[in-house]
Amino acid sequence: MELELQKIELPGVPAERPLVIAGPCSAETEEQVMDTARQLAKHGVKIFRAGIWKPRTKPGGFEGVGVEGLAWLKKVKQETGMYTATEVANAKHVFEALKAGVDILWIGARTTANPFAMQEIADALRGVDIPVLVKNPVSPDLELWIGALERINQAGLKRLAAIHRGFSSFDKKIYRNLPQWHIPIELRRRIPDLPIFCDPSHIGGKRELVAPLCQQAMDLGFDGLIIESHCNPDKAWSDASQQVTPDVLDFILDQLVIRDTHQSTENLKDLRKQIDECDDDLIQILAKRMRVAREIGTYKKEHDMTILQTDRYSEILNKRGAQGTQCDMDADFIKKVFEAIHEESVHQQMEIINK
Ligand code: PEP
Ligand code: MN
């Protein structure tokens, strides 16, 4: 299904990259919300985020202040002129947020993953014209992400955007949620007109990672950033380790290098031609390799040998991995390439043997 989209144009907000949304993970108290909002507004932030209802992995954590906090968002809007954004996870949240005049809604990662909840939200939004930002689902499932966007779009909402907030993994090493950039890149390829925001706070999980992740997102052509910022991050009631003060946020945004996404590609023409020639050669070489593999298949069939010769396979992977390193390529990358080539060789030999 094609999405029917409209640009998210907000009067008073420059239509340039990056479009920045900032604010605390959660609205905690009126004082914390107002203090953070005033500082962010002073630094020129135009869109304020704060979670009112918080989906927590385990019970017992701070689950958000609820409806009471919506009045604080109203106050932020009145006093600073910033647009406000909050997360909705069910129809009740939608009604309450709309009633309170929240300007932008976002769907959290746990909700995107649940088609029933998405349909309930879409139905609650039918006939309403409000920008909706859909975070990726917790699992690396692009179809689920697109499906959630389609549900909202089918309810008649056209001002949509996606938020890339990384994907859950069992081993949390550097990142709280793995970036797996190829997934939002594929989303861009599939739906080129859909703006994509990056949420470096939830990808990184720690404040040191916010700046490099913002830069990476900008270099990949993302349209916006949604960043958690708190007037006193260490004392935050949720996601303390990943929030930055408004001053630090301002510094991070200031340091960003924004490269032009619409530059002419004329100068790249020659280099791209060379790449095309390399790719032609690669295909020819691969085809030749497969022909040889099929000949080996015929030999194995005539001599009643098994297809998979494990020693030979390990030898190829190790030898080529080491060779790749010498040629300035990552050994794991080369191994992956040879695994794929080997899989196809086995497949071709199977066809010969089963003929
Ligand atoms: C949030 O934005 O604070 C949040 C809960 O995010 P996510 O849905 O990405 O976990
Ligand atoms: Mn958070």
**Which chain residues have CB less than 5 Å from ligand 2, an ion?**
25, 239
24 DSSP β-pair partners: none
Q: Whose CA is nearest to atom 4 of ligand 1?
A: 108
Give the integer Cα–Cα distance in Å for 165 and 174: 15
What are the φ and ψ backbone dihedral angles of 167, each rounded to 5 degrees?
Answer: -125, 140
Q: Which of 133-137, 144-148, 275-279 has the lowest mean pLDDT?
A: 275-279
- Centroid of ligand 1 to alpha carbon of 202 (angstroms): 7
- Contact criterion met (CB below 8 Å) for 233 and 207: yes
Give mean pLDDT, residues 245-267: 90
Q: Please report the pLDDT score of residue 129 as a whole number.
A: 97
pTM: 0.81
Please indicate whether residue 109, judged by its CB atom, sits closer than 6 Å to ligand 1.
yes
Please indicate whether residue 176, judged by its CB atom, sits closer than 6 Å to ligand 1.
no
Q: Please report the pLDDT score of residue 15 as a whole number.
A: 92
What number does the ligand 1 atom closest to the CA of 26 have? 3
Output the six-digit token pair for 301.
């069939």
Q: Please report the pLDDT score of residue 60 as a whole number.
A: 87
Q: Whose CA is nearest to atom 10 of ligand 1?
A: 109
pLDDT digits (tens, 9 = 90+) for 202-230: 999 999 999 999 999 999 999 999 999 99
Closest ligand, as measured to the CA of 166: 1
Measured in whole angstroms, how far is the alpha carbon of residue 11 from the centre of its chain? Answer: 26
pLDDT digits (tens, 9 = 90+) for 225-251: 999 999 999 999 999 999 999 999 999
Q: Under DSSP, is residue 329 helix (H, G, I), strand (E, B) or coil?
A: coil
| Residue 309 pLDDT greater than 80, yes or no | no
Sequence-ordered list of residues with C-beta below 8 angstroms from that of 41, at least 6 positions apart, any chain: 48, 80, 81, 82
- Centroid of ligand 2 to alpha carbon of 211 (angstroms): 17
Please indicate whether residue 49, judged by its CB atom, sits closer than 6 Å to ligand 1.
no
- Centroid of ligand 2 to alpha carbon of 52 (angstroms): 11
Sequence-ordered list of residues with C-beta below 8 angstroms from that of 69, at least 6 positions apart, any chain: 27, 33, 50, 52
Output the six-digit token pair for 249.
């946020």
- Centroid of ligand 2 to alpha carbon of 35 (angstroms): 18
Give the integer Cα–Cα distance in Å for 207 and 332: 30
Sorting pLDDT into bands at 50, 70 and 90, what band is 78? Answer: very high
Distances (CA, A) of 325 to 311, 319, 330, 335: 21, 10, 6, 11
Residue listed under structure tokens 């985020």: 49
254 DSSP β-pair partners: none
Q: Which of 4-13, 213-222, 254-263 has the lowest mean pLDDT?
A: 254-263
Mutational pocket test of ligand 1: of 52, 138, 165, the residue with most ligand atoms within 8 Å of the beta carbon: 165
Output the six-digit token pair for 345.
């060789």
Q: Whose CA is nearest to atom 1 of ligand 1?
A: 25
Sorting pLDDT into bands at 50, 70 and 90, what band is 1? Answer: confident
